[in-house]
Amino acid sequence: MVNPYVAQLRFARSEFKRCLEGVSDEDARKRLLPMNAISWMIGHMASQEQFYFVYYPQGKILYPDLIELVGFGKPGTTPPLNEMWELWEDITKTADEFLDTVTEDQLSTFLEQDIKGYEHIAFGTVTAEMLAQKTIKSPENIGTRILRATFHYFFHTGEAHAVRQQLGHPDLPYFVGDMPDYLFLGREGYEE
C-alpha cells in the first residue's frame, strides 16, 4: 500500500517529467536569467531526493558531488540534459526503496544518520559544529520532507514551463494534468 503523501509526491514527479517532454539538450542548457536552466532543475530535484530519501533513511550517497553542481545557493550551471535525467532516474528509484516502506505512523519520525559524507550532500551551510557530531538528525520529520519535495517539484515545474514559454516552445502541456482517482480515495485506493 502506498502512503497518500508518497502518492502525491509521485504525481508531482510525473507532472515535472510531463512538463519537460521533448526538451532538447540545447534548450535544457539555456539559462534565461534570473531563471535556472532546465537541466539544472532536474539535477536540483534529484539532489533534494538524494538528501531527503536516500541519505537520511538509507545512509547512501549515490552522487557526492551533485550538491556542488546543482545545490541551493551554488553558482548556476548548465549540465548535460541526459546526464541529469540519468542521475534523477537513479536517485528516484533508490528513493522509492525507502518511500515504498513509509507508513502513516512513520510520517512524524525524525530520521538520524551517521555524519560521514554529510558535507557532500547537505543543502545550505554545513558548520564545523555539525561535522564534529557522530550523527545528524533531520530538522524535519518524514511527512514534512515528503510534502516539501512535492511542493518543490511544482515550483520547478512552473519555472520550467516559464522557461519553455520564453524559448518559444509550441503546444506546451496544460497543468495540472489528469489526476488519478487513487490520489483522493481512502487508504485502500493507494494500492498500485
Q: How much is the mean pLDDT over the chain?
A: 88
Cβ contacts of residue 56 below 8 Å, gap of 6+?
111, 112, 113, 138, 145
Vertex 139, ends 44 and 6: CA angle to 5°? 60
Residue 185 in this model has a pLDDT that exceeds 80: no
Give the closest residue to 88 by CA, choosing from 114, 54, 117, 111: 54
117-153 confidence digits (pLDDT tens) = 777 777 666 777 777 778 889 999 999 999 999 999 9
For 21, the grid coordinates are 517532454
Is there a contact between 15 and 157 (Cβ–Cβ < 8 Å)?
yes
What CATH architecture does domain 4-174 belong to?
Up-down Bundle (1.20)
Contact by Cβ (8 Å): 67, 120:
yes
* DSSP conformational letter for 109: P
Give the 3-state secondary structure of residue 121.
coil
- For 13-63, write each residue's pLDDT tens digit: 999 999 999 999 999 999 999 999 999 999 999 999 999 999 999 999 999
